[in-house]
Structure 1
Amino acid sequence: MTATAAPAATRTEARSATVFRMVTDQHVCPYGLKAKDLLEREGFTVDDRWLRTREETDAFKAEHGVRTTPQTFIAGERVGGYDDLRRRLGKAVADPDATTYKPVVAVFAMTAAMALAASYAAFGTALTMHSAEWFIAFSMCVLALLKLQDVETFSSMFLGYDLLAKRWVRYAYAYPFCEGLAGILMIAGALDWISIPVALFIGTVGAVSVFKAVYLDKRDIKCACVGGSSKVPLGFVSLTENVMMVAMAVWMLFSHH
């Protein structure tokens, strides 16, 4: 038995949506823009309704018994906020508490590209020993930058596992400055007598601390390597940061002298 096609009006109604979002002189709701864009990319015709004042927004929320905007309606049925819309359309919704390696992957991918570009600009070819050295040095600088955005939060997370910081709290505050200084000097190829011992020291202490916390104590905690608010789990990637610093210091110690 052949299925009868749905009337055109019904199909059109099913692919229509209404988004109520806050748009005022002081605030344009970013999730409202995302909801509208997602619907349009999914082939929906969007009736874009603006809530132009706080009073209008509060009245809308009271009327529909919701706590937030935007609110999306599809074919007259309320779907909910942006995350609810993503679920309705079969899209993934990020778990704010889930661990992820994305920040570290982003850092290393960018610093690798920077190192290759710098090598090409300086020597006409991307693949050189300098590009390998610059990759580690650039990574140290970027990781230090992420920590320096909020040293207080970084230090609090760092104190949870670093062996030296637990004995001398000020080391938790000094660490990102030391990492950044060593990275900058390595990029410049200057003052090896400072950069090499600094990188060797903080890298060794860090590697021992991470190894003890993860592989001996079996602790399940977050890493402070990309700043104190990250969801990166303490483990192999954290160990890699420290091993890279040690390897760079040892390489410079023998290759530059």
Structure 2
Amino acid sequence: MSTSASRPRAALHRMVMPGHVCPFGLKARHLLRSHGYDVEDHWLETREATDAFKVAHDVKTTPQVFIDGIRIGGHDDLRRFLGLKVRDPKATTYRPVAALFAMAALMALALSYAVYGSVLTVRAAEWFVGLSMCVLALLKLQDVETFSSMFLNYDLLAKRWVPYATLYPFAEGLAGVLMVAGALTWFSAPLALVIGGIGAVSVFKAVYIGKRTLKCACVGGGSNVPLGFVSLTENLMMVAMAIWMLLAPLLWPGLHAAM
């Protein structure tokens, strides 16, 4: 059986002040403990103590981890030492889009179950697209200025008429809300068809014809999502939903009433 004496030991020096507890210090302590280390937790409780520690060990940041008397470094250095992945803040990733669509799908299924008692309904698919548009618009609206700057890199209409880059998230959000409500389809469907169609053509031209490497503004201006297949799919999904909402009442007039 493992005892405290047989477990490896580590010394952690981290900031713990009345107005600030370093989050990376807490993460480093958790990593050490979860990997079987007994942690000597040394608190740096004042700015003066922190600055003195940095000078004494010739380091620029805290926390700092020492194992067997050897300095490992800060939180990211500890992750590398333990063989764990370190996130690159500049790396492109599809994770935000995957999380967004997964959450929108779950919300749509939950709504379908609450209203119809089943998750497998036509409205669930419609709600998924509408909710996705609402959440995408929300992310853009958090910082419209940054979004519009990224959007202008590739959107064909925005390049010709700059205000469109600012208006786009409002239009997307409005179309999404109306689609979720199933209201004013005569307005929401053409609106989604126009902005989705322009978006699809713009992405296709920039990525597949122009061979440009860009970041997508789809989840807001601060994302590292690459412009490409996912962005094109998002716009085509919007177009498909718009066409469906226009044609479904004509081809299957009793569809929603039957559910």
TM-score, normalization by structure 2: 0.93
Match for residue 84 of structure 1 among 71, 77, 85: 77
SS of residue paired to 2:72 = strand
Aligned-residue identity in percent:
68
Match for residue 104 of structure 1 among 97, 108, 112: 97
TM-score, normalization by structure 1: 0.94
SS of residue paired to 2:90 = coil
Deviation of residue 157 (structure 1)? 0.5
Match for residue 27 of structure 2 among 16, 23, 34: 34
1:93 aligns with 86
- Tell me the amino acid that sits aligned with residue 207 of structure 2: V
Structure 1: segments with no counterpart, 5+ residues: 1-7
1:245 aligns with 2:238: yes
1:67 aligns with 60
Cα distance in 2 for partners of 1:184, 1:256 equals 19
Cα distance in 2 for partners of 1:168, 1:57 equals 53
- Tell me the amino acid that sits aligned with residue 127 of structure 1: L
Aligned 8 A contact 2:186 2:246 in 1? no
Large movers: runs of 4+ above 2 Å: none
Cα distance in 2 for partners of 1:108, 1:188 equals 19
Deviation of residue 245 (structure 1)? 0.8
Cα distance in 1 for partners of 2:169, 2:47 equals 43
2:111 aligns with 118
1:162 aligns with 155
Count matched residues: 247
1:127 aligns with 120
1:197 aligns with 2:190: yes
Q: CA RMSD in A?
A: 1.1
Structure 2: segments with no counterpart, 5+ residues: 251-259
SS of residue paired to 2:232 = helix
Give deviations 1:3-62, integer Å, cap 9, x for gaps: xxxxx96x54xx111111111111111100000001110011011111111111111101
Deviation of residue 256 (structure 1)? 2.9
Cα distance in 2 for partners of 1:58, 1:237 equals 47
Structural mapping, 1:196-215, within 5 Å: 196-215=189-208
Match for residue 21 of structure 1 among 14, 33, 36: 14
1:49 aligns with 42
